[in-house]
Homo-oligomer: A and B are copies of this chain.
Amino acid sequence: MKTMANPQQRLRLGFVGGGLESSIGSTHRYAASLDGHYQLVAGVFARDPERNLAAAQAYGVAPERAYADFEAMARAEAARADGIQVVAIMAPNAVHVPASLAFLKHGIDVICDKPLAASLAQANALLDQVRQGPALHLLTHNYSGYPLIREARELIARGAIGEVRLVQVEHASAFGTHPLEQQGVKALAWRTDPDQAGASSVLADVGVHAHQLLRFVTGQEVSQVSAELSTLVPGRVSDDNAHVKLRLSGGGRGLLWASFVAAGQRHGLQIRIFGSSGSLYWHQEQPERLELRHQDQPHQVLRRGESWLSEAARQATRIKAGQPEGLLEAFANIYSDAAELIKARREQRAPAPLARLCPTAEDGLRGMAFIEACVQSDRQEGHWIEVS
């Protein structure tokens, strides 16, 4: 079980994005601070100078460390003795790679929002840098932080459901049900703008979460796809729904559904994995419950916090079974894993093994290749396409 870290050993953290009006920025601040591993000390919070300063002030950041752009920030912070050790990037997709490169080059570790990049080419370029090291590039695929998702991964690895035959995964939200981007709702405007979001808005925004969840839990890759990307809301300029048939590296099959227009749903991320002897079911809106359904036996309901769960699941929690945890705690697990990986690198020691569950740029690259293959399949009338 986790507990709060000593506040005197916090990593110095910078932000790219995360201004006062940013909902994801608020989530990052909560997640980064929850276990006490980070102190926010610098940032480019907003393009508008006044808003940038206002955010700095609200966050307790010295005004001179509220920078105009990420290049300036990387240079200045790298030059300070008390400069940031790690930067968190939560800007629109197209900024992820250039900002990451700016900090990596100065040896500053990076924690970046998904998707990794705005295109596969951009992602490959980033990986060239990342693989040289020494700085780390970690990805906030936050659903990998849920304790019962880690339990599901362990169960499958241990053979609890036999050989994986089928995976049905979906991230189908409702937030684009109405074309609010046409009324200037910002969060929807940039997500449905191909210049900022990339070739498939719906896959970049929610599809890659579903894709990563499948990979994380099964330990398999999506090797081929047959996809249709659709625009179901009149007047929208990006896609808003994706239906993808999957072939998995282990020989299994799958379906992935990503949507902005699942009216009446909320978050809509769920996964079902069917093996040769049983199946698992998990839904993000009830994250404290994992169903293990053996063929020919009563179904089992596993709960977070129990003593008989795997170490991976037990280590990723803060309060007792029965007292619910939620997204902030899962997201904080990613930040805590990242802290351990970063501290270990800086202290030249091996990290705690479970910290390696933290997603990295390599995972992000798989996501970009998946998007690319889906876009191609859609253009080729649903033909099966290899994921490179």
Measured CB to CB, the residues of A under 8 A from B are 3-4, 6-8, 20, 23, 26-27, 29-30, 33-34, 36, 57-60, 161-162, 165-166, 168, 173-174, 177-178, 226, 228, 230, 232-233, 241, 243, 245, 252-255, 257, 259, 261-268, 274-279, 284-288, 292-303, 305-308, 318-329, 381-384
Would B228 and A245 count as touching, CB distance under 8 A? yes
* Copies of this chain, tallied across the complex: 4
Complex Cα distance A287/B325, Å?
A: 10
From known contacts A262-B274, A299-B300, infer whether A322 and B383 are also in contact, taking CB-CB under 8 Å: no
Main secondary structure of the interface of A (DSSP, over half): loop
A263 / chain B contacts, CB cutoff of 8 Å = 161-162, 165, 274-279, 293, 295
Q: A33-B34, A265-B322, A324-B324 provided; 7 other pairs, C-beta below 8 A?
A: A177-B276, A243-B255, A262-B279, A265-B274, A267-B320, A326-B329, A328-B328
The residue from B8, B30, B261, B323 contacting A274, defined by CB atoms under 8 A apart: B261
| Smallest Cβ-Cβ distance to A165: which chain B residue | B232
Complex Cα distance A299/B299, Å?
A: 8
The residue from B173, B178, B322 contacting A268, defined by CB atoms under 8 A apart: B322
Would B295 and A298 count as touching, CB distance under 8 A? no
A20 / chain B contacts, CB cutoff of 8 Å = 3
Would B29 and A4 count as touching, CB distance under 8 A? yes
Complex Cα distance A226/B228, Å?
A: 9
Would B307 and A296 count as touching, CB distance under 8 A? yes
Counting from the closest, the 5 A-B pairs by CB-CB distance are: A266-B322, A264-B293, A267-B322, A324-B326, A264-B279
